[in-house]
Amino acid sequence: MVDIATIIAAIGAATSAIELFDKMADQIERFITKRPTPDVPKEHRLKIEKSDADIVASSHGQVVQRITAQDLVNLPPGQLQHIKVLEQSMENHYAVWSQVYPQLALMDSPVQKARVEQQLRGIVVGMKGDLEGILSFLESCGIHLDDHYMHIRHLVGQQ
């Protein structure tokens, strides 16, 4: 059996990684699909976040699932520890993404734009495994994923 501190650290890492995912999701979608930025930002139906020491899934602001540390005691220790690695990797990808993505709108030259797009594509491909690992971890915890989580998973999986 895994100690509670490891489980709580994994919950923190998973929810932190999902927060990064949520920050990038709409930008990734626009980049991959080549759709323009909407006038009004999208409001996603499902939101996964940390509440105390729990993972909480809310739909339209109403809690629909709550996963406690006790619910995760039977997960393999390696899986709980690996989520911290995935979170750190997501932080690294996000740091680069947040510097490069805004440059795309400033590119006048087709050559410059193509270079930035290639760099962004490389970031998406680089974080594909991390995204999949984080979403798979949440599913193994019992979280039912839908909405933008599944949509972005599909889009990134095609890259």
Q: Please write the tens of the pLDDT for every residue from 125-154.
A: 999 999 999 999 999 988 999 889 999 999
SS3 37: coil
Q: What is the pLDDT of residue 2?
A: 83
Q: What is the pLDDT of residue 143?
A: 92
pTM: 0.88
Rounded to an integer, what is the distance from CA 114 to the centroid of its chain?
25
What is the secondary structure of 115-126 as a DSSP string?
A: HHHHHHHHHHHH
Between helix 77-100 and helix 4-33 the angle, nearest 10°, is 40
In the chain, how many domains are there?
1
> What is the span of the domain harbouring residue 25?
4-157
Q: Calculate what percentage of the chain has a pLDDT beyond 70.
A: 100
Q: What is the pLDDT of residue 6?
A: 92
